[in-house]
Structure 1
Amino acid sequence: MFGLDTFEIYKGNATETLHSTYEYKYALPFEKVHDKFGWTMYFQQNWHHSVSISVIYYVLIRVIQRLMRDRKPFNLQQPLFFWNAGLAVFSVVGLIRFSEDFFVNWYHSGLKYSLCHSCNPDSVAAFWSLLFAISKIVELGDTMFIVLRKRPLIFLHYYHHVAVLVYTIHSGAEHTAPGQAFITMNYLAHSFMYTYYAAAAYGKKLPKWISMVVTTVQTTQMFLGVAVSCYVYYLKVYTDYKCQQSMANLYLAFTIYITFAILFVQFFVDTYFKKSKSKSKVQ
């Protein structure tokens, strides 16, 4: 399927990949992927189920929306607070622990090296990379809170969830090197986003500019994703520099990041400019 099932990593005698050799000075006993080969093979053989999960997820939320049509919305403020607070803490810790590999390599070996070499599969970063992939399934629960509370559900919300899930699982199957930058940016954006949502669920009335900052961070992430993909494409096509990323995965990255960038810009304009104009007209 468009070359997406052609994995070279860990095939035959090819057990070596282009990855960092960085070792963390401090690691908790559980911060290690004990069967990197097994997990990689599992992702390769089952990555397409991320599409199946996405279809089931979409059908399920539409069914729940229909069931909720004539019902009163659930009051889920307290569960929503703990949900968002938990994901905020996870994102902050994940950012701190995962990004060390990426930034240390960037500092010592340059951006090109850090974007073309995946994290050390025997290190702490690999553990938090695996947790990141699993978290994309967990985060589908965000939508349940929206439909059960009968809040507006926009296309950007569920498209973003399923596209990130599919791309993350496929990237895990081939140890996509630019994933180091993508995961770092996502952890960062979600640190802001879930902290904001947790505060709102707690009942804090936050000024509009904070919401704008969160959306700006998310939108910037998408444009940086496009920029990283363009740079890796240049390296792979116009230079002899080797990068741990297949062309199929790279084209997939272009697809989701370009569409994300367009949709987030549209969301930003609709939310913060068109609504402001309409309010001024009413006044």
Structure 2
Amino acid sequence: MEYLHEFQRRGAEFWKDLNTFELYQNGSVDHGIHSGYKYSWALPFEKLENPEHVTRLLQQYWHWTIYISVVYFILIKGIQYLLTNRKPFDLKIPLVLWNGALAVFSIAGFLRFGEDLFDTMKTRPAYEWVCYSCHPKDVAAFWSLMFALSKLVELGDTLFIVLRKKPLIFLHYYHHVAVLIYTFHSGAEHTAAGRAFITMNYFAHSVMYTYYTITASGIRVPRPIAKSVTIVQTTQMLAGVAVSCFVLWVKDNTNWPCQQSRANLGLAFLIYTTFLVLFLHFYWRAYHSRPAAKSTQRPKKD
């Protein structure tokens, strides 16, 4: 019982830390530590007029993503049960359009959001790559918000899987809910390492959704390309662990300010480490284990 009480106490402290935010509290308009990069051009919609309001909404409601995740899981299992004795839906054209739209969105997000990070990588020390957030009123902030909202949209990936009665593995829905929850919490505190995380994810999704658009249209893709897509996904997870390790080193060994709370950093370690293990396991089973050699395994939607 003593261990249980200690676990409950630590869990309560961690939850309290997750809901303790510094940005825009008590009437403050401090935007935190952010990049000074200015985009040379921007489309009319590529801006946030009131980042304080958006941030406070995320701070107040980020935990709703946990409830959404529970409903999502129940809904998916319910649909699978209802379709037990029914034929799968075809959905070829909707699937091509769905993946194509997400591919275009991801490519645009990578090019526009990544511009901020790439400039920092060229002109500033490595510390600023992961400890300075994007400017809350510039183009990158808009694409950061779009990234968070896209994690809600991408839950629709699972609907296509279950309606077509394709295999649904734990990695798929665990990844969807974990990224959804972490992304909204990171938005609530403007997690600086999110610049690297978002850029990597936009790139991985650009590759992945383009691949799925091609395969959904009926075009057979050589096995090495499918393998390369999985390598991109797995490398993203390894890089996420590396970035988190660097942030931890900064916090433990320097007095440099870093725009990421220890609670959020703990979530990052948990999520990226489990993702890395699961993707390595999937990669091994899909491309190197003996049974998989006769199968037609495809990279999983991360």
In structure 1, distance between residues paired with 2:267 and 2:161: 28
Is 270-279 or 193-202 further displaced after alignment?
270-279
The answer to whether 1:220 aligns with 2:225 is: no
Over the matched positions of the two proteins, sequence identity in percent amounts to 56
User: Hey, what's the Cα distance between the residues in 1 that align with 2:135 and 2:119?
Assistant: 12
Distance of 2:68 and 2:268 partners within structure 1: 20
Residue of structure 1 aligned with 2:84, choices 60, 66, 69: 69
- Helix, strand or coil for the counterpart of 2:18? coil
One-letter identity of the residue aligned with 2:202: Y
Instruction: Specify the alignment match of 1:28 in structure 2.
Output: 43
How far 1:237 moved relative to its partner? 1.1
Moved more, 107-116 or 206-215: 107-116
Does the Cα contact within 8 Å between 1:24 and 1:123 map onto a contact in 2? yes
- Residue 78 of structure 1, aligned match among 80, 88, 93: 93
Alignment of 1:135-154 (within 5 A): 135-154=150-169
Query: Matched residue of 1:23: which SS?
Result: coil
> Do residues 88 (structure 1) and 103 (structure 2) align?
yes
Q: Retained in 1: the 8 A contact 2:286–2:292?
A: no
Cα pair distance change 1:123/1:272, threshold 3 Å: same
State the Cα distance separating 1:14 from its structure 2 match: 3.9
Q: CA deviation at 1:275?
A: 4.5
TM-score normalised by L of structure 2:
0.91
What is the TM-score when the length of structure 1 is the normalising length?
A: 0.97
How many residue pairs match? The answer is 280
- Structure 2 residue 29 is matched with structure 1 residue 15: yes
- Which deviates further from its counterpart, 102-111 or 251-260? 102-111
1:61-210 superposed matches below 5 A: 61-210=76-225
TM-superposition CA deviations, 1:32-86 (whole Å, max 9, x none): 0111011000000000001000000000000000001000000011100000000
Q: CA deviation at 1:276?
A: 5.5
In the alignment, what sits opposite 1:236?
Answer: 251
**Equivalent residue number for residue 8 of structure 2:** none
Structure 2 CA distance, aligned partners of 1:276 and 1:21?
52
Q: Which runs of 5+ in 2 are unaligned?
A: 1-11, 296-302
Deviations 1:4-24 (A, max 9, x none): 001111112543200112110
Task: Provide the residue aligned with 1:42 in structure 2.
Answer: 57
Could you list the structure 1 runs, at least 4 aligned residues long, displaced by more than 3 angstroms after superposition: 275-280
Q: Distance in 2 between matches of 1:67 and 1:192?
A: 33
- Counterpart residue identity of residue 264, structure 1: F
Hey, what's the Cα distance between the residues in 2 that align with 1:123 and 1:170?
20
Q: Distance in 2 between matches of 1:223 and 1:278?
A: 25
Q: Which amino acid aligns with 1:9?
A: L
Residues 47 and 166 in structure 1, CA contact (< 8 A), matched pair in contact too: yes
Separation of aligned partners in 1, 2:215 and 2:293: 24
CA contact (8 A) 2:244 2:269 kept: yes
Query: Where does residue 7 of structure 2 map in the other structure?
Result: none
Q: Of 65, 74, 80, which aligns to 1:59?
A: 74
Q: Which runs of 5 or more residues in structure 1 are unaligned?
A: none
Distance 1:134 1:63 in 2: 24
- Which amino acid letter does the alignment assign opposite residue 86 of structure 1? A
Contact (CA 8 Å) 1:8, 1:14: kept in 2 or not?
A: no
**CA distance in structure 1 between the aligned counterparts of 2:192 and 2:287, rounded to whole angstroms:** 35
Structure 2 contact 89–164 (Cα < 8 Å) conserved: yes
**Matches of 1:276 and 1:72 in 2, distance apart?**
27
